[in-house]
A and B are shown apart, each in its own frame.
Chain A
Amino acid sequence: MIKRAFFKSKFLPYLLILPQIVITLTFFYWPALQGIIQSTLLSDPFGRQSKFVWFYNYIALFTDPLYLKSIFTTLVFSLAVAAVSLFFGLFIATMANRALQATAVVRTMLIWPYAVAPAISGIMWLFLLHPSYGVVALGIKKWFGVNWNPVLNGTDAMVMIIMASAWKQISYNFVFFMAGLQAIPKSLIEAAAMDGASPFRRFVTITLPLLSPTFFFLSVMNIIYSFFETFGIIHTITQGGPGGATNILVYKVYQDGFVGLNLGSSAAQSVVLMSLIILITALQFKFVEKKVQYTG
């Protein structure tokens, strides 16, 4: 028989979750609501005059071909960042899991990049890859004859910010994959080995399915990361350039709202961004989660 605790008072449970509800309402729902209201207004930054304009800001956004391009850029960017960082995270975790000696040291060292702030990471990659003063950039231009120029070439710039963003996230993914790998019972893998399955086969048919909850969690987290937290990297490396090639949605919100002080448009963009993230996460839950195996 299962023991269960019951609250005598009907109000006590509500009282206990009250702080959490208050925090969520004040710090999440209230600003989101403010954003939605602001997105239907045209107002000057000082708040002296505001006008209700229905969907003017949204119409302006969606009739702007560059905004649609920015959505596309964002999707390409976040998919690439998620794919690269998940792949390398998993790869390194698998390798580290096999290393017998000095595992703890290796693991700790591999986690470090996650502690680096995005803006710092951006600056470091800039010092490596800036065409005028980047050490590596000067090297590949000189010895490999590659015409590397992220200042002018949109594709180069995109590659650069994907590398900088994924690099940081690899460590994060590594930690979770490592934990996931260690939770897989050794006996399963040994049994498969005795049945004659190759290491690759064992990885595909046993390790990967058992890692799927981790994989699912990380894919959601990585997409969210690349949508929002990469701001610092874009800001330090490309500022959305060249020619808007790396102008992802969150950067555009900043440029129009914070720098350009067009609050209405920037609020509308935030609402679009919010809806997009809700949609992507919902899709992930609906379609990907079905294939996830939570029990081994």
Chain B
Amino acid sequence: MKILKLFLLAIVAACLAFPVSAFAKPVTINWWHAMRSARGKVVDKMIQDFNESQSDYHVVGTFKGNYDETMNAGVAAFRAKKQPHILQVFEVGTQTMMLSGAVYPVHKLMKDAGYEIDWSNYLQAVLSYYMNSDGDLMSMPFNSSTPIMYYNVDQFKKAGIAPLSKTDPITWDELGEITKKLVDSGAAPYGMVTAWQSWTQIENYSAIHNLAFASKANGYEGLDCELQINNPKVIAHIERLKNWTQDKRFMYGGQKYQGPKSEFIAQNAAVYIDSISGIAKLQKAVNDFTWDAAPLPVESWMKKPQNSIIGGASLWVLQGHTKEEYKGVAAFLKFLANNEMQEYWHKQTGYFPITLNAYEDLKSKGYYEENPLQTVGINQLNRATPTKISRGLRLGYFVQIRNIINEELELVWNGNKTPKEALDSAVSRSNEQLRTFEKTYK
């Protein structure tokens, strides 16, 4: 009995000697994301590395479905007061998140946690998409891409066309001649095809040529903005694409990327415009011809083309958690931005590294000489300082607006509307969406 008592005493003493906190579990940080399969594994690896690098915090990543589903899960969880700390939201949801009153702005989070971040070290064309009108960063950019132009080198050769430069864009007139040669010589059944038509042919076309997509600096400076894509230049661009459909220089392959991509892989179209994340997909899928990439074409009147704009998603920090937990969130976001993580992320997924540091580091290691394809997008994104118009789009109900633009463009391609009618109607329909959005938040 005595021995037992002593033993118990020893245990109590031990418990008192080592305070409970020493045994306390690390603080859990929840991150809901939309990265499935291969990308999901990359995300899991990054989380694992963070968890192993320290013992105070434990990040748990949860795949919540595609972008819409993840955002909905976040919204529903917030309403039920069970929100995660970090939520990945696609770029078109930026305005909704920003106005939600449910987020902890990243620039503030980092400052409160005591981190001095040199934001000028980040890719400005990426950051500017997620800044508020005062230039403060609201969410942490995560996966960012931009559209570039892929082309079939074999078909180009057959038609006697020289390979394109990876840095200097060709003009749209030149692309017209190239596609004409391709079709006329019989080298390819169709000239070009494009994925994500609203993003590549209107949003990016406008940014590159410094044309306003919407008033109020594309919506950055007020909810009372209106779409302006029915300007003569965009109309002329759509008109040209429409004319190209007559002689097979342009074919419509669908709103998303699957249809257009399969036309390119099947060698039905020799030129294919899609996001830089297409590089990895094409490397996997194409084995019977050589292909290369070039920057998006530019109009001949645009001597100094602007940067293209990004697509992808960013990480939003949601309100309603403890200070301790936010410290962990800040530590994790900082960890994600370090060179090692950024390089790993870029190499595995093809999305941009978001810091200039990581970019320079990759460069010095000779990565871009080995992978010249990867330079195309990043050069196009960094070739100019973003203007108020080329830095991004900040629109309410942007998802609906993209749908409207897609619908109206399809009516152009199938001959039910002229480009002017379609873009006018896209503007007036989108403006109604913008007014409803404005009314909701006023």
Contacts and interface: CB of A to CB of B under 8 A. Distances in A.
Interface of A: 42-49, 51, 53, 56, 60, 64, 66, 130-133, 151-154, 239-244, 255-256, 258-262, 264-265
Interface in B205-230: none
B440 interface: yes
Given A241-B406, A242-B413, 17 more contacts: A42-B440, A44-B96, A44-B440, A44-B441, A45-B100, A51-B439, A56-B439, A132-B254, A133-B266, A152-B252, A243-B411, A258-B68, A260-B399, A260-B403, A261-B399, A262-B433, A264-B440
Contact of B410 (A42, A46, A48, A243): A243
From B254, B266, B416, B429, residue with most partner A Cβ within 10 Å: B254
B440 A132 contact: no
Interface in B39-86: 68, 71-72, 75, 78-79
A46 B414 contact: no
Interface stretch (B1-9, B112-120, B255-263, B351-359): B255-263
Interface string B416-442: 100000000000010011001101110
B96 A132 contact: no
A45 B112 CA distance: 28
B319 to A, nearest CB: 10
A153 B79 contact: no
B102 interface: yes
Contacts of A51: 439-440
Interface of B: 68, 71-72, 75, 78-79, 93, 96, 99-102, 252-255, 259, 262-263, 266, 268, 397, 399-400, 403, 406-408, 410-411, 413-414, 416, 429, 432-433, 436-437, 439-441
8 contacts: A42-B440, A49-B101, A133-B266, A151-B253, A241-B255, A241-B407, A261-B75, A265-B436
Nearest to B413: A152
A45 B79 CA distance: 9
A262 B100 contact: no
Given A241-B410, A259-B68, A43 B440 contact: yes
A151 B100 CA distance: 36
A243 B416 contact: yes
B402 to A, nearest CB: 10
Contacts of B68: 258-259
Contacts of A48: 100-102
Contact of B407 (A53, A133, A244, A259): A244
A151 B259 contact: yes
A191 to B, nearest CB: 57
Nearest to A48: B101
Contacts of A153: 414
A153 B263 CA distance: 17
Given A259-B68, A260-B400, A242 B440 contact: no
Given A132-B266, A261-B71, A262-B400, A46 B252 contact: no
A53 B440 CA distance: 10
Nearest to B78: A46
From B102, B403, B411, B416, residue with most partner A Cβ within 10 Å: B403
Nearest to A47: B79
A130 B414 contact: no
Contacts of B437: 262
Given A151-B252, A243-B414, A45 B400 contact: no
A106 to B, nearest CB: 37
Contacts of B263: 132
Contact of A46 (B79, B253, B408): B79
Contact of B262 (A53, A60, A133): A133
